[in-house]
Chains A and B, each alone.
Chain A
Amino acid sequence: MNHAVRETQQMDIRIDSDVVRVRQVVRECAQRVKLSLVDQTKLVTAASELARNTLLHGGGGHATIELVHDGRRSGVKATFRDEGPGIPDIALALVDGWTSGSGLGLGLSGSRRLVDEFDLASQPGKGTNVTVVKWAR
């Protein structure tokens, strides 16, 4: 996912209200690249899920929100990373309804369906990195 980056914002994810802040920044960016209302909502919801996973499962981390361009279209790219326990079985974590806690187990699998590009890298003991992109149509 190498797209020309126009603007970058870094944010910490340490407490509950950071998740709300991430959501707000993502919404602002989505509006700036003129995503449709449906796509804005989808991206914001995906960001909300991933930021909360970073906080709850990853023990906190960082988000990077970028305005990107691939020559044809503009989009928003959001990266979430933590140095938490990592995901031992990625395929399993992406199964609808699978959760190691008491959630619905839809955050990861659901956000994959909400965005155009989804990249998940994780190493047990090292941490997790999830990158998503949503393009303006």
Chain B
Amino acid sequence: MPANADRAHRLSGLLADNAGTLLQRWVQLAGAELQGRLTVAELERDLRELLDTLLPVAGRQAADVRTGADFTELNTVLTELSRRRARQNLTPTETASSVFALKQAVFELTEQDDDPALFRELITFSSLLDSLGLLTFEAYTRAREEVINEQEVQLLELTTPVVKIWEGVLAVPLVGTLDSGRTQVVMEKLLQSLVDTGSEHAIIDITGVLAVDTQVAQHLLKTVVAARLMGAECTISGIRPQIAQTIVALGIEFGDITTKATLADALRHALRSDGLSVVRRDQVGA
């Protein structure tokens, strides 16, 4: 930065001149921390990329890390690296210690030198690396959150079964707390299953649902309309008293959507509209 712009930044020069040895030593130190959880080739590729983007800004202050325009590339590289580590299931500590390992490598490189200017530069560089280490922590956490969210969605796909309960009749029982994402997944899956199986009836059973708010209602309404456009009839069953009262107080109108008290009623309704009826054997022909 301006403070030593008039003077060559000795450390930067030193690092650039010894980039090859520095990288080798860095890979060695970082590799020791990771205890074989990454291949040397993999680690070397990652650290080389990091070193290449770090060298041009090695003389800068830690405070610039977040705001400096010339840190954009380094930030991107570091964020990407942290995400990869998060997905490889490494811990945040392991991830950050790869960055900190560079300190040791740089100290070794400058050990023999007793130039006080270089020493000051080293201290600045060291806090720069600290900031970068913190950045990896943040990026790592964000990436983990993303992984968890993805897993939630995948889990949803698994835990919301669309079942065929009769020839041409699909049912999806909704259970628990519905958030927007979850409702959407279920609804999309139901519509897709209607296409895949050529069914003409769908029953959404909400007996197990704790609350229906405007968002869930809107998803339900949209699904019913979409199913209709596809030539299928969609019935909502299992609206419990407390849910019914809440829906009414909220002011949501289900319009001409067919609702039934229970899943069994809804199935009977679907069968009837297909011209089928369930009768006791001893009443047949009576």
Contact = CB atoms under 8 A, between A and B. Distances in A.
Contact of A19 (B179, B249, B250, B252): B179
Contacts of A96: 251
A11 interface: no
Nearest to A105: B214
Contact of B177 (A20, A107, A111): A20
Interface secondary structure of B, over-half rule: helix
Contacts of A40: 242
Interface residues of A, number: 28
B61 to A, nearest CB: 31
Contacts of A27: 210
A57 interface: no
Interface string B259-271: 0000000000000
A24 B177 contact: yes
Interface in B151-206: 177, 179-181
A41 B211 contact: yes
A48 B213 contact: yes
A37 B218 CA distance: 23
Contacts of B211: 23, 41, 44-45, 48
B212 A45 contact: yes
B104 interface: no
A37 B245 CA distance: 11
A45 B246 contact: yes
Contacts of B179: 16-17, 19-20
A12 interface: no
A91 interface: no
A38 B241 contact: yes
Nearest to B217: A104
A105 to B, nearest CB: 8
Interface in B207-249: 210-215, 217-218, 241-243, 245-246, 249
Contact of B210 (A41, A110, A111): A41
Contacts of B241: 38
Interface residues of B, number: 21
Contacts of A83: none
Q: Kindly name the residue among A16, A96, A106 whose own CB sees the greatest number of chain B CB atoms within 10 A.
A: A106
Contact of B214 (A19, A44, A106, A113): A106
A56 to B, nearest CB: 9
Given A16-B180, A45-B211, A104 B218 contact: yes
Given A41-B211, A48-B211, A104 B252 contact: yes
Interface string A26-48: 01000000000110111011001
A64 interface: no
B210 A44 contact: yes
A19 B246 CA distance: 18
A110 B242 contact: no
Nearest to A103: B214
Contacts of A104: 214, 217-218, 252
7 contacts: A20-B177, A24-B177, A38-B246, A104-B218, A110-B214, A110-B249, A113-B251
Given A96-B251, A103-B218, A113-B249, 9 more contacts: A20-B179, A38-B241, A38-B245, A40-B242, A41-B245, A44-B210, A52-B213, A110-B250, A113-B250
